[in-house]
Amino acid sequence: MIGGDVSVAGTVNNTVVAVNGDVLIRSSAHIKGVIIVIGGHLQQEDGADVTNDIVSISFDNATVNSLIIGSGLILGIGALKLAASLLMLIVPVLMVALGKRKTAALVDRYRNAPRGKIFSMGFFAGLLLVAVSALLLLTIIGIPFILLIALFIIAAVAVGLTVASRVFGEQIRGTSDKPDWVRTGAGAFILISAINIPFIGLFILMALVLYSLGITTSWLESLLRNRKKSK
């Protein structure tokens, strides 16, 4: 029944379904099937014989509010994931297109660098940043420094994503004669697709963050060494 109330007083061997209506089960009723009530209320008198399951979904204010909040959260998370994916695709392409020489030199430097060393440097750098952030959270004046750390991590991920995208893009067949930004975009698309895989994508994202922190830490270390030598 859709849009109307249901009253059961006899024997029913099949499923009882009511949408946007109430269901009244009399004491003389014998229902062998499943009872499904959507958008209404179920009332069962004493003595009624119901041998199967009862599914009742009532659209009261609390349920409606929960559905609205849940739908809003799902849409919001989806919008954030889409925006993040677009940024992860656009940023490396722009970095390669606008900074051709510097980006090419950076990629050449870390293309064949030992992966284990980069990941280990990224791991320890990440631990240090987490520890410093935890200490800064204890003080109000430390909040601006936490924002700076967050910006540093975002910048590091942009650099690491650019290097990884360029390297992955070079492995794709048919892109050898394409411009650098096209190969980088193809590699970034592969990485983004992998990151969006449920559960597995989280580990891939963590690996990308560690890889990015390792590259950035190594680059900063080399800058400090060059400055010391120049002095």
pLDDT in tens, the chain (231 residues): 676 778 888 888 878 787 777 788 888 888 887 878 877 778 888 877 777 777 777 666 666 667 778 788 888 888 998 998 999 999 999 988 888 788 888 888 888 888 888 999 999 999 999 888 888 888 777 778 888 999 999 999 999 999 999 888 888 887 778 888 888 999 999 999 999 898 899 999 999 999 999 999 988 888 888 777 766
- Residue-level length of the chain: 231
Residue-level pLDDT at 123 = 93
Is residue 73, in this structure, part of any structural domain at all? no
Residues 52 and 149 in one domain: no
Angstrom CA distances, 123 to 126, 133, 209, stand at: 5, 15, 9
Residue-level pLDDT at 226 = 77
**Around Cβ 128, how many Cβ atoms within 10 Å?**
12
Residues 125 and 216 in one domain: yes
**Around Cβ 222, how many Cβ atoms within 10 Å?**
11
Residue-level pLDDT at 1 = 61
- In the sheet where 42-44 sits, what is the strand order? 6-8, 23-25, 42-44
Residues 172 and 88 in one domain: yes
Is residue 174, in this structure, part of any structural domain at all? yes
What is the residue range of 89's domain?
A: 80-230
Rounded to two decimals, what is the model's pTM?
Answer: 0.68
Residues 84 and 179 in one domain: yes
Residues 103 and 210 in one domain: yes
Residues 43 and 97 in one domain: no
Residues 21 and 122 in one domain: no
Total tally of structural domains belonging to the chain: 2
32 sits in which H/E element: none
Is residue 64, in this structure, part of any structural domain at all? no
Residue-level pLDDT at 58 = 66
